[in-house]
Structure 1
Amino acid sequence: MEQRVEIKESTIKRIGGYLHRVVPIADKSGDIISYALKPLMLEFKPRDIMQVIIGSALLAIPVSLTEEVWNLGELLPDQNVLAISILSLLLISIFVYFNFYKVTLKGYVTHFIKRVIGTYLISLLVVALILTLIQKCPWGFDNILAIKRIILVAFPAAMSGTLSDTIK
């Protein structure tokens, strides 16, 4: 005789200020005996912003100190730098989607967009600050070169910022 167990739907609830997926655990008879909580990182909170800042700085610092990236900023055509910027946004979007929103994108599209754009902008700002401090952003003399260097260094910085954002 085959026994059928009815699986109850999970719900999303705010617990302690954070969203969690509440999954009921049922016994063989279908009675709920407990609940499992899984934190959902769907909202881009100040804690996440700090994680992105630190994560971005982890790779921005060593990469921004290399002469190769400074020279690459001078030599690389503008369209290639633009392509690198688009590639950064694409990779961040894919990573964020599959790690945070794959199951629950519906209803959280604006949070998804805020997380992707926010992560990239934060990485750009961290890189801009570092390159400006080490005087490798020639603001006022060659703004295009400054922006190109920022975008080049932000590519790995954004990836490490995105990765550090997954830490709960």
Structure 2
Amino acid sequence: MNIYFNKEDAIQISVGAFALGVPVAFSEEAWQSAITLPTLNLFLIVGLSLVFLGLYAYQGIFQHRVQTRLMAFFLRIFIAYGLTLVIVALILISLDKFPLFAETALALKRMLIVAMPASIGAIVVDGFDKED
């Protein structure tokens, strides 16, 4: 079994990120927590997101067989998280809650907070059609 990344995978990741990103992005709680959340906690959020992306990819997509496909494994996690960040940024822009140029730090914090659940949605939807 070889795991390739194609257009279908990108679409699945985008849809999954959108599905779980939208409800959180509409939450004023997420907007406000970005104001007070310490930087250390942001690193924890990103770290947890990447760990759980990795766990799901390892179990659900690669089915424990990553030894000979480490590059594909890490690339899939990187692409899933990167696409999630783009989707979340687009959602926040559409809600006028992404002040990238006026308040860059706040915009990035909001993006990372919303990306946590969105990234899980992204990787789960991506893993739906994986077969041996």
Q: 1:73 aligns with which of 27, 30, 34?
A: 34
Q: CA RMSD in A?
A: 1.2
Aligned length: 129
Higher strand share: 1
For structure 2, which runs of at least 5 residues remain unmatched after alignment?
Answer: none
> Structure 1 regions of 5+ residues with no counterpart?
1-11, 13-18, 20-41
Shift of 1:103: 4.0
TM normalised by structure 2 equals: 0.92
Aligned structure 1 segments of 4 or more residues deviating by more than 3 angstroms: none
**Going by fraction, where is helix more abundant, 1 or 2?**
2
Structure 2 residue corresponding to 1:145, chosen from 90, 94, 106:
106
Higher relative CO (Cα under 8 Å, sequence separation at least 6) belongs to 2
Distance (Å, rounded) in 1 between the aligned partners of 2:53 and 2:9: 14
Instruction: Judge conservation of contact 1:124–1:151 (CA < 8 Å) in 2.
Output: yes
Give the share of equivalent positions with the same residue, in percent. 29
Tell me the residue number matched to 1:91.
52
Q: Secondary structure at the match of 1:165?
A: helix
Structure 2 CA distance for aligned equivalents of residues 151 and 133 of structure 1: 16
**1:136–1:146 contact (8 Å) kept in structure 2:** yes
TM-score using structure 1 length: 0.73
Question: Larger C-alpha radius of gyration, 1 or 2?
Answer: 1
